[in-house]
Amino acid sequence: KQEVTQIPAALSVPEGENLVLNCSFTDSAIYNLQWFRQDPGKGLTSLLLIQSSQREQTSGRLNASLDKSSGRSTLYIAASQPGDSATYLCAVKDSNYQLIWGAGTKLIIKP
């Protein structure tokens, strides 16, 4: 059974720092992995989608990597800003086309 874990559960850093959020999954048989952002009381915004054949995807200050064989993905945020404060969720699409979620990392960027 696929399980997705995100570490740390919460992270607080000063503005301007580069940071890394981690996501691990137990079954490497995935089609893709997606990183989302959720702001308090709001919906889910897709940030990056990495296919199983890809190693990384970039969008602006965000870079997501995928190492399928080791069951790991990282989300790198460069030059963090207070507006980056949110909960970051990763989800894998498993071999049954179902989306399996991590519990999220709550990120706080201090001005």
Partner 1 sequence: DTAVSQTPKYLVTQMGNDKSIKCEQNLGHDTMYWYKQDSKKFLKIMFSYNNKELIINETVPNRFSPKSPDKAHLNLHINSLELGDSAVYFCASSHGGREYHGYTFGSGTRLTVV
Residue 12 or 18 with smaller CB distance to partner 1: 12
Could you say which residues in the range 44-103 bind partner 1, by CB under 8 A? 44-46, 49, 51-52, 87, 89, 91, 93, 97-99, 101, 103
Asked if 37 is part of the footprint of partner 1 (rule: CB under 8 A), the reply reads no
Contact region with partner 1 (CB under 8 A), list: 19-27, 38-46, 59-67, 68-76: 38-46
Classify 13 as helix, strand or coil: strand
Residues 6 or more apart from 104 whose CB is under 8 A from it?
6, 9, 38, 87, 88, 89
- What backbone phi and psi angles, to 5 degrees, belong to 66? -140, 125
Parallel, antiparallel or unpaired: strands 10-14 and 105-110: parallel
Residues near partner 1, by CB under 8 A: 31-32, 34, 36, 41-46, 49, 51-52, 87, 89, 91, 93, 97-99, 101, 103-104
